[in-house]
Amino acid sequence: MHLPVLLLCTLFPSSFPRTDAPQHPLVAPKPLPAELKLSLRHLHAISGANDVVFADAAQPASIWSHSNAHSLRTRTTRIHRPRSNEAFQSARLSSLREQKSTSIDWDEDDVEAPDVTDRATLLELAKMTSNSYVLPSDPLWYDIGDKWTNNYPFGWEPDADGFRGYVFATEDNSTVVLSIKGTSAPFVGGGGPTVRRDKLNDNLLFSCCCARAGWSWTPACGCYSGGWKCDEGCVEQALQDDSLFYPIGVNLYNNITYMYPSANIWLTGHSLGGALAALLGATFGAPAVAFEAPGDRMAARRLHLPSAPSNLHITHVFNNADPISMGTCNGPLSSCSIGGYAFDSHCHQGKRIVFDTVGKRGWSVNIRSHPIKVIIDYLLTNGTWAEEDGSELPPLVDEDEDCMECYSWEFGESKNNSVSPSHPR
């Protein structure tokens, strides 16, 4: 089986630039146009050994025609990036292992980010996100032209079970968009070989205590202490497993910066993929747009991500009839619980665009409001939504600083520093 180009990017020390190097070019890149056109460049996935792997997408001569490209509007956004990723990770691990707070230096930059106040831009990002679930040959792939071939087997074979997605880039490689696949689960109309690992990551990142929802459940980790008590340090340690998607995402981002050293990198994703995009955006100071993602603030805290002076470069887009984004898909009779998932978190990082589909459309809170296709077909497609003032999008607002979750639980100190996640079989 032949691929045009195959890059196996494993994180050996010799494979990447120094990790204490600045996370942005020393020479400012040339200004970006107000509208960008991007095309598919790479498929990304994880091998059985948890290595990041890429397959280049075949590109016919007509690649840059209007019908073959995604068009995105940009706006200048001020962001804070860690001056050194090595210092960032060192501070994170020091906080995790020693409960020691270490200050790090942040660089304040004005970068071109997606214009999240523009409906058409959000629609294009949502389509990229939707496509991360399927191959270009799938009928569910949103048509962006005839440049895609069917020969993309690497990392997308039927038995592949890892982290998946696509890399889109502008013609001059000045901007790259990393699209990350979210949860594939039967109860939201999905499925496939990634279900097991998706579920483990969901239950570790977004449940109050290892998805311990009842005597019949197999918890995601062994941190439950009886009653409504949980060993918080134990949960934090469980999240450090290298086979989980956050550390894999960090490696993936490093691969992208190695392949495109001067590019402005954006992140997007849906559901679990959206939360991972937001967590990576917080880690690297990269613009991120997440669709229908569970609350990611608790996960950021448990991962001990150092807090930047501002995280306004992260935007969450969801509707309030989606129980996963709202953190209510967790009761004993909920679709999520029946499927073995516990989505307890609802506090998000950064800004939010929340469609009031319950109040303005009369939708009931239901898992059927969660798929990315709902956002695309019913909320972002031209003419499908209008606010009272005639605008096409709800306002961009901050998360409530007093947002609370898991208030019924009592969290204690770690008693087991060698805990590992309980990988479901």
List C-alpha distances in Å: 208 to 25, 222, 229, 399. 39, 13, 10, 19
Whether residue 356 contacts residue 395, with contact meaning beta carbons closer than 8 Å, is answered with no
Count helices and strands (H / E) in the chain: 10, 14
Q: Which amino acid appears at position 403 of this protein?
A: C
| H or E, element range at 257 | helix 245-259
| H or E, element range at 259 | helix 245-259
SS3 string of 340-375?
Answer: CCCECCCCCCCEEEEECHHHHHCCCCCHHHCCHHHH
**Tokens 């050194």 -> residue:** 84
Pairing status of strand 52-56 against strand 35-46? antiparallel
Number of Cβ atoms within 10 Å of the Cβ of 100: 10
Between CA 131 and CA 63 the distance in angstroms is 18
- 422 tagged catalytic: no
User: Which of these is catalytic: 39, 130, 207, 271?
Assistant: 271
Between CA 141 and CA 131 the distance in angstroms is 5
Active site residues per annotation? 271
